[in-house]
């Protein structure tokens, strides 16, 4: 029915999006506030951004965080893609039930438990805590997100494409790299981005598994936030929001363009 998109629906959407976006917008707006007080607008100013540049601790933490996120997302993407292939393509192998359980459980596992258990493992095997332990921890919990994203693409994958390649003489491993991987690439990239931002964002697991010299940005933000709202933190948050938004927007534009190009190509082919 045409009238089904009613005023009530419009109100629900408006309120919903207002609820989702107003708090974030306030952080962005107040990062340009000259006044230190939240409720007082002291005029537009970028001084908090300038003072960030002088904050050695914060910059170090940011650099550590980005390195961990890049490394862990990359390894997690490889492992997660393998896990997804194993789960969709190999219907029967010993321990498959346990494997699929392990692959899904971290999605819903409380972070405090993940953090605590990994810490105890690192202590038990005598691994010095720091950069590498956080990276390992992040690989472990983001791997599962990658696996889920890639798996959802693989289940709708047309197997006859692979069969066609092999029928034309392409060996299985080569088929995977020249046929399967290019087709599931958008899902793999999406998985990488998800893993990257999850790692960038994580406070709890990193707090448990980190050691001296590997303080991440969320940990720095958390310790300042506990002391109250400060304009510098607003500025950091705004920068992070900006970076992520640009990343997501570029990703969706690239995806949209590839869809448009494909449609155009299909139209040309049809016409």
Q: Give, as ranges, the residues between 73 and 92 that touch other proteins (CB under 8 A).
A: 79-80, 82-83, 85-86, 89-90
The CB-of-23 to other proteins minimum distance in angstroms stands at: 4
Of 77, 135, 151, 210, the one binding other proteins by CB under 8 A: 151
Does 147 interact with other proteins (rule: CB under 8 A)? Answer: yes
C-alpha distances out from residue 200 to 20, 46, 153, Å = 21, 25, 25
- Of 35, 50, 63, 172, which lies in the binding site for other proteins, with binding defined by CB under 8 A? 172
Piece of 51-59, 66-74, 198-206, 260-268 that binds other proteins (CB under 8 A): 198-206
Site for other proteins in 237-266 (CB under 8 A): 237, 240-241, 244-245, 247-248, 252
Smallest distance from the beta carbon of 168 to other proteins, in angstroms? 15
By CB under 8 A, what part of segment 89-128 binds other proteins?
A: 89-90, 93, 95, 99-106, 108-113, 116-118, 120-121, 123-124, 126
- Closest distance between other proteins and the C-beta of residue 101, in Å? 7
Q: Taking CB under 8 A as the rule, does residue 9 contact other proteins?
A: yes
The interface with other proteins within residues 27-66 (CB under 8 A) comprises 27, 30, 37-39
CA–CA separation, 64 and 217 (whole Å) = 8
Distance between CA atoms of residues 121 and 77, nearest Å: 23
Q: Is there a contact between 205 and 138 (Cβ–Cβ < 8 Å)?
A: yes
C-beta of 177: minimal distance to other proteins in Å?
12
Contacts of 263 (CB under 8 A, 6+ apart): none
Q: Which of 59, 127, 136, 183 binds other proteins (CB under 8 A)?
A: 136
- What tokens were used for 29? 């707006």
211 forms part of the interface with other proteins (CB under 8 A): no
Burial 141-154 (b: 16+ CB within 10 A, else e): bbbbbbbbbbbebb
Task: By CB under 8 A, tell whether 18 contacts other proteins.
Answer: no
Report how far apart, in Å, the C-alpha atoms of 215 and of each of 30, 98, 111, 159 are.
26, 34, 18, 46
Q: Give the Cα-Cα-Cα angle 155, 188, 137 (nearest 5 degrees).
A: 110
Q: What is the C-alpha to C-alpha distance for residues 151 and 88, in angstroms, rounded to an integer?
A: 7
Question: Residues binding other proteins: what is the number (CB under 8 A)?
Answer: 92
Candidate segments 46-54, 66-74, 171-179, 260-268, binder of other proteins by CB under 8 A? 171-179
Q: If 0-12 CB within 10 Å is exposed, 13-18 middle and 19+ buried, where does residue 182 land? A: exposed
Of the candidate spans 22-30, 44-52, 55-63, 260-268, the one that interacts with other proteins by CB under 8 A turns out to be: 22-30
Q: Which is nearer to other proteins, 136 or 269 (CB)?
A: 136
Quote the CA–CA distance of 164 and 145 in Å, as a whole number. 30
């Amino acid at each position: 029915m045409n009238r089904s998109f009613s005023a009530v629906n419009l109100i629900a959407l408006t309120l919903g999006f207002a609820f989702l976006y107003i708090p974030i917008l306030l952080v962005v707006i107040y990062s340009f506030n000259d006044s230190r007080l939240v409720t007082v607008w002291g005029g537009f100013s970028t001084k908090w951004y300038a003072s960030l540049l002088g904050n050695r601790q914060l910059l170090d933490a940011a650099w550590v965080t980005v390195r961990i996120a890049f490394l862990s997302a990359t390894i997690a993407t490889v492992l997660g893609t393998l896990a997804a292939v194993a789960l969709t393509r190999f219907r029967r192998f010993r321990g498959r039930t346990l494997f699929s359980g392990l692959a899904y459980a971290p999605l819903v596992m409380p972070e405090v438990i993940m953090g605590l258990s990994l810490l105890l493992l690192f202590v038990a095997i005598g691994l010095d805590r720091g950069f590498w332990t956080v990276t390992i921890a992040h690989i472990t919990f983001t791997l599962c997100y990658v696996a889920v994203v890639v798996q959802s693409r693989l289940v709708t994958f047309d197997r006859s494409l692979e069969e066609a390649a092999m029928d034309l003489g392409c060996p299985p491993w080569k088929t995977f790299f020249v046929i399967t991987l290019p087709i599931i690439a958008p899902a793999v990239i999406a998985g990488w981005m998800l893993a990257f931002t999850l790692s960038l964002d994580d406070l709890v697991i990193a707090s448990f598994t980190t050691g001296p010299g590997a303080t991440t940005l969320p940990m720095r933000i958390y310790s300042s936030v506990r002391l109250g709202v400060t304009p510098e933190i607003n500025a950091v948050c705004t920068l992070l929001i900006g970076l992520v938004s640009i990343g997501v927007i570029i990703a969706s534009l690239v995806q949209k363009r590839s869809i448009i190009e494909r449609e155009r190509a299909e139209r040309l082919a049809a016409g």
